[in-house]
């Protein structure tokens, strides 16, 4: 029998109020149940918000360096448990274990970076126009925040949200994706071990409509930070907008890699393989379009097919495996539907395009690395996020056309150019409509000390990580201290200006 896990509310592990549960299974071997989790609904969410609300005054008034020390401690515990967590990630969501280690490392990096903010959290001091008056801005917590996270980075993305939210003095209701509740639970357990006060971080597991929506709808939640699809992001923004609730949304991507004729082709090919098929293409930063100059398109494409053919697909705990399964049956179907759409649209299927079957492939959701050639920018496979191991090769005749194609989707998360021409590189850095741009590297692999997020339908103008994190999880408060002992009216009682 698989172990049963509970919600974490007010410092206690509790079952859902209606007793419903769901299973988390291994996508490489679907008969393996990772655990049984609480299928929470509105009642559970309300309890979690009650607990977070009750814990807020105590946590807000805890000095920021002390708040940050819990995050630092969890960073150390992540380091201790890195291997076990990486393996759990592979079992629960399929990414190969080396990438699981990277995912946990990203959480460690975030702890390392953001716990120092406990001693910074910079405000501003500025001069006043009046004598004997002090003007400053300090950062205050938002209150209770709702954090809704995806399955593709089951440790890293929760840490991008939880760590800065805690350092800045917010209390939390955390709803992880239903596909990765075990990783989320393991992370929350580390906070319990670190002695985080009860109610500061609350975990409710379950499905979006049942356990996510009530978080968005509760008036006591001051901010929603969500990473997931643009469709769900739009719904969240609409609902939250009615309550004037802040939303930080990290949504889809259709990330282009431009390869110019002067590029180092070996390097570009290596980058393309990693960007397109790493994490089985299940990253919002995945390289899903390769925009390649016609002068080198044939050579590039032939070599890409050759190299992609030799990628080893399988269970990510087995040595040598480079590409794991898709997350679930639904995603397998979606990817396959897009492949059919691509064929109907007239793109040439150059590699893959099918579910992998036979032997241990039959136990999981495995899909062959897939390459489409002759893809036109108007095709759906060039416009819509597939979130699988499918890449579109799109030949172009010039840099200008490359940029036009690169910018032709509704998304704008990550982007990349391979060239040895420094002038072109700088033009691309300026011209690509994206929150993240790479030169001579693929579209994946952002580091946490810079802001993460995108433009257009990828988000709503916010950024995670880096210096943005503190800004996003706080409200600025402007404070004026008049120590003149008399009424001084701003804009009126000012001394004469120079004439």
Strands (E), 367-448: 370-373, 390-396, 414-418, 436-439
Residue of 117, 178, 284, 464 marked catalytic: 284
Q: Among residues 232 and 446, whose Cβ is nearest to ligand UN1?
A: 446
Min separation Cβ 447 and ligand UN1, Å: 7
Q: How far is CA 32 from CA 4, 13, 23, 120, 188, in A?
A: 14, 24, 10, 46, 23
Angle between helices 181-193 and 64-80 (to 10 degrees): 120
CB 51 within 8 A of CB 13: no
Q: Which of 444, 457, 465, 470 binds ligand UN1 (CB under 6 A)?
A: 444
Instruction: Indicate if 193 belongs to the active site.
Output: no
User: Which of 444, 379, 405 has its CA nearest to residue 294?
Assistant: 405
Strands (E), 402-463: 414-418, 436-439
Q: Among residues 17 and 105, whose Cβ is nearest to ligand UN1?
A: 105
Q: Among residues 184 and 396, whose Cβ is nearest to ligand UN1?
A: 184
Q: Among residues 8 and 274, whose Cβ is nearest to ligand UN1?
A: 274
- Stated as kind and residue range, the H or E segment containing 72 is helix 64-80
Instruction: Indicate if 250 belongs to the active site.
Output: yes
Per CB under 6 A, the segment of 341-349, 373-381, 420-428, 438-446 that binds ligand UN1 is 438-446
- Give the other-Cβ count within 10 Å of 206's Cβ: 25
Q: Among residues 203 and 446, whose Cβ is nearest to ligand UN1?
A: 446
Question: Quick check: 283 binds ligand UN1 (CB under 6 A)?
Answer: yes
Per CB under 6 A, the segment of 40-48, 68-76, 383-391, 439-447 that binds ligand UN1 is 439-447
Min separation Cβ 86 and ligand UN1, Å: 15
User: Which of 441, 452, 465 has its CA nearest to residue 278?
Assistant: 441
- Give the other-Cβ count within 10 Å of 6's Cβ: 17
What is the rounded distance in angstroms from the CA atom of residue 95 to the CA atom of residue 430? 33
User: Which of 257, 220, 179 has its CA nearest to residue 50?
Assistant: 220
Q: For the purposes of burial, counting CB atoms within 10 Å of the CB of 305, is it exposed (0-12), middle (13-18) or buried (19 or more)? A: middle
Q: Site residues for ligand UN1, window 112-171 (CB under 6 A)?
A: 152-153
Q: How far is CA 176 from CA 38, 160, 305, 468, in A?
A: 12, 13, 36, 22
Question: Quick check: 284 binds ligand UN1 (CB under 6 A)?
Answer: yes
User: Which of 328, 310, 308 has its CA nearest to residue 320?
Assistant: 310
Min separation Cβ 278 and ligand UN1, Å: 8
Q: Among residues 117 and 250, whose Cβ is nearest to ligand UN1?
A: 250
Min separation Cβ 154 and ligand UN1, Å: 11
CB 475 within 8 A of CB 139: yes
Min separation Cβ 254 and ligand UN1, Å: 13
Min separation Cβ 75 and ligand UN1, Å: 17
Min separation Cβ 227 and ligand UN1, Å: 6
Min separation Cβ 276 and ligand UN1, Å: 12
What is the rounded distance in angstroms from the CA atom of residue 460 to the CA atom of residue 448? 19
Binding mask 216-235 for ligand UN1 (x = CB under 6 A): -----------x--------
Q: Which of 446, 457, 469, 470 binds ligand UN1 (CB under 6 A)?
A: 446
What is the rounded distance in angstroms from the CA atom of residue 12 to the CA atom of residue 373? 54
Cα-Cα-Cα-Cα dihedral sign, residues 148, 151, 157, 159: positive
Non-local CB neighbours of 59 within 8 Å, separated by 6+ positions: 67, 141, 169, 170, 171, 197, 200
Q: Among residues 15 and 445, whose Cβ is nearest to ligand UN1?
A: 445
Q: Among residues 35 and 228, whose Cβ is nearest to ligand UN1?
A: 228
Per CB under 6 A, the segment of 31-39, 334-342, 394-402, 444-452 that binds ligand UN1 is 444-452
Per CB under 6 A, the segment of 29-37, 54-62, 83-91, 443-451 that binds ligand UN1 is 443-451
Question: Quick check: 387 binds ligand UN1 (CB under 6 A)?
Answer: no
CB 215 within 8 A of CB 236: no
Per CB under 6 A, the segment of 128-136, 280-288, 358-366, 426-434 that binds ligand UN1 is 280-288
CB 392 within 8 A of CB 382: yes
Min separation Cβ 382 and ligand UN1, Å: 20
# of chain residues touching ligand UN1 (CB under 6 A): 10
Residue of 250, 433, 464, 472 marked catalytic: 250
Which chain residues interact with ligand UN1 by CB under 6 A?
Answer: 106, 152-153, 227, 283-285, 444-446
Catalytic site positions: 250, 284
């Amino acid at each position: 029998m698989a172990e049963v896990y509970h919600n974490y509310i007010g410092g206690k592990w509790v079952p859902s109020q209606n007793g419903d549960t769901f299973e988390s299974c291994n996508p490489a071997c679907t008969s393996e149940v990772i655990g049984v989790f609480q299928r929470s609904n509105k009642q559970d969410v309300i309890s979690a918000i009650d607990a977070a609300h009750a814990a807020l005054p105590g946590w807000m008034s805890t000095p920021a360096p002390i708040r940050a020390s819990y995050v630092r401690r969890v960073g150390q515990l992540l380091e201790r448990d890195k291997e076990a967590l990486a393996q759990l990630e592979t079992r629960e969501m399929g990414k190969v274990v080396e990438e699981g280690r990277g995912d946990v490392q990203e959480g460690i990096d975030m702890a390392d970076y953001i716990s120092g903010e406990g001693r910074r959290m910079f405000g501003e001091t500025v001069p006043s126009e009046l004598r004997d008056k002090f003007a400053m801005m300090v950062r205050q917590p938002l209150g209770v925040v709702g954090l809704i996270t995806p399955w593709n980075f089951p440790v890293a993305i929760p840490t991008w949200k939880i760590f800065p939210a805690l350092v800045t003095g917010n209390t939390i209701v955390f709803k992880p994706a239903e596909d990765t509740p075990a990783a989320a639970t393991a992370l929350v357990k580390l906070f319990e071990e670190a002695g985080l006060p009860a109610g500061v971080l609350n975990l409710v597991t379950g499905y979006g409509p049942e356990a996510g929506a009530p978080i968005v709808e509760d008036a006591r939640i001051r901010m929603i930070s969500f990473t997931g699809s643009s469709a769900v992001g739009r719904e969240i923004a609409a609902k939250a907008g009615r309550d004037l609730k802040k939303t930080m949304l990290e949504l889809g991507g259709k990330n282009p890699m431009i390869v110019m004729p002067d590029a180092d082709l070996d390097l570009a090919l290596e980058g393309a393989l990693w960007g397109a098929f790493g994490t089985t293409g299940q990253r919002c930063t995945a390289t899903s379009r390769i925009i390649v100059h016609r002068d080198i398109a044939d050579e590039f494409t032939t070599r890409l097919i050759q190299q992609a053919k030799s990628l080893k697909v399988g269970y990510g705990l087995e040595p040598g495996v480079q590409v794991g399964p898709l997350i679930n049956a639904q995603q397998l179907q979606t990817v396959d539907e897009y492949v059919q759409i691509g064929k109907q649209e007239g793109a040439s299927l150059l590699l893959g395009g099918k579910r992998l079957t036979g032997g241990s492939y039959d136990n999981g959701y495995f899909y062959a690395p897939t390459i489409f050639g002759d893809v036109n920018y108007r095709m759906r496979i060039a416009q819509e996020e597939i979130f699988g191991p499918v890449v579109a090769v799109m030949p172009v005749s010039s840099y200008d056309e490359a940029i036009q194609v690169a910018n032709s989707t509704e998304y704008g998360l990550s982007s990349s150019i391979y060239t040895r021409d420094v002038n072109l590189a700088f033009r691309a850095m300026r011209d690509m409509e994206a929150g993240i741009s790479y030169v001579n590297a693929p579209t994946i692999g952002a580091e946490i000390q810079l802001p993460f997020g995108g433009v257009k339908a990828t988000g709503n103008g916010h950024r995670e990580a880096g210096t943005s994190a503190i800004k996003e999880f706080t409200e600025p408060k402007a404070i004026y201290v008049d120590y003149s002992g008399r009424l001084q009216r701003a804009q009126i009682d000012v001394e004469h200006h120079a004439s």
